[in-house]
Amino acid sequence: MKKLLLFAAVAVFGLWNVNAQTEKGNWMFGADANVSFSSNTAKQEYNGNESEGKETISIFTFTPSANYFVINN
């Protein structure tokens, strides 16, 4: 029961906050950031010789955003 009430409160306050941002003439600025790391080790055999390779990839993404509301809601 407590979880249901908590979920309902979060949903109501979350929706209320979103509606308050959509008045005509308002600006909304925000950003999203993401970091990802990946590592891979592979063994290969070529003409009887075995070799091992290691690959590491790091990705950083930053996405800014700006919104302007031209009408209410």
Q: What are the boundaries of each domain within the chain?
A: 2-68
| Separation CA 44–CA 48 (nearest Å) | 10
- Write down the pTM of the prediction: 0.46
The tens digit of pLDDT for each residue in 12-67 reads: 666 655 555 578 888 889 999 999 999 988 888 888 788 888 889 999 999 999 98
Tokens 């075995």 appear where? 50
pLDDT for the residue 19: 52
pLDDT for the residue 12: 67
pLDDT for the residue 59: 94
